[in-house]
Structure 1
Amino acid sequence: MACQRTVRIAGALGLAALASPAMAGTRTTAEVIYSENPQERAFQESAGYSDAVILRDGTIYLSGVVVGPNADKASFERAYRKLSDILLRAGATWEDVVEVTSYHTDIEPQVAIMSEVQKQFIAPPFAAWTAVQVSRLYSPGGITEIKLIAKKAVR
């Protein structure tokens, strides 16, 4: 009986130890960055999202930035400059970006232009990138949405 109790207590302590690091990386203990633009911030608050969430371990999750309404180089450059601004406000750079996910309403031509622009911001070795074809985006007039995950060194 005493042996079973000891095993249960040890198991509970082990689970508590495993849960502790996870708590250090929860959204409620993270730094959250909202848009500096009052209209964008109001939309974010009404829709329920932020520009970025920075966990204590240095992982940064950026919400998607929409490209549109045209699939041209200038539209993608605007989106990448906005992503640059969010990274900067999060204390990161393009060097810290480890993953890019993009959603495209017309994948072939959009990926070609995005790739050209992306190489102006991300130098080799390149981040992981997943491009997905979708039927539409939430944002009216949006043709592509780009989201990032970055990992900055914890000081």
Structure 2
Amino acid sequence: MDRQRTALYAGALGLAALASPVLAGTRTTAEVLYSENPQERAFQESAGYSDAVILRDGTIYLSGVVVGPTADKAAFERTYRRISDILLRAGATWEDVVEITSYHTDIEPQVAVMSEVQKQFITPPFAAWTAVQVTRLYSPGGVTEIKIVAKKAVR
């Protein structure tokens, strides 16, 4: 009986170790990307965030990228190109994007334009996408903020 209990505990500890975030990587062991623009980087450091965090397991978390001050097609295209640049610096592409979360100050018209532009960058099968209505964004003049999670293959 004691051998069975010991084996169960050992097995449970082994599973806990496999599920540990340390194996996947943590922010302190991850690669952190800051803006290449000195003014943007200074703002990021002052506010306490980065463009992206890349874990050892290949998961990439992009901070929200703001669209504004208008929500027209050109503004969304600029934002998606900026996201493309961050993904590229992280060693990923739109093919690696698995989740999109967008925050909108006026959801219906903004989602319509965003969806049109997004389909220029993401082809089927599409990433998971959650769109949320908010009263305002942190960034002055921002009307939409787009947050991305990607997963690149670990080599």
TM-score (ref. length: structure 2) = 0.91
Distance in 1 separating the partners of 2:17 and 2:125: 34
| TM-aligned CA deviation for residue 71 of structure 1 | 1.2
How far does residue 16 in structure 1 lie from its aligned partner after superposition? 6.1
Amino acid at match of 2:17: A
Gaps of 5+ in 1: none
- Aligned position for 1:90: 90
Q: Which residue of 2 aligns with 1:104?
A: 104
CA distance in 1, matches of 2:44, 2:23: 25
Distance 1:59 1:154 in 2: 9
Q: Could you list the structure 1 runs, at least 4 aligned residues long, displaced by more than 4 angstroms after superposition.
A: 6-10
> Which letter does structure 2 place at the counterpart of 1:140?
P
Q: Distance in 2 between matches of 1:138 and 1:148?
A: 17
* Greater mean alpha carbon deviation, residues 66-75 or residues 16-25: 16-25
Partner of 1:74: 74
For 1:24, the equivalent position in structure 2 comes to: 23
Change (3 A) 1:28 1:142: same
Instruction: Determine the C-alpha separation between the residues in 1 that align with 2:11 and 2:128.
Output: 37
Q: Map Cα deviations across residues 86-125 of structure 1 (whole Å, 9 max, x no partner).
A: 0000000000001110000000000000000000000111
Q: Write the letter of the residue equivalent to 1:45.
A: E
What percentage of residue pairs aligned between the two structures are identical?
A: 79
Q: State the one-letter code of the partner of 1:114.
A: M
**Please, what TM-score do these two structures have when normalized by structure 1?**
0.91
Q: Distance in 1 between matches of 2:64 and 2:14?
A: 34
- How well do the aligned residues superpose, as a CA RMSD in angstroms? 1.9
Q: How many residues align?
A: 153
The Cα of 1:8 is off from its aligned counterpart by 6.8
Matched, 1:39 2:39: yes
Match of 1:140 in 2: 140
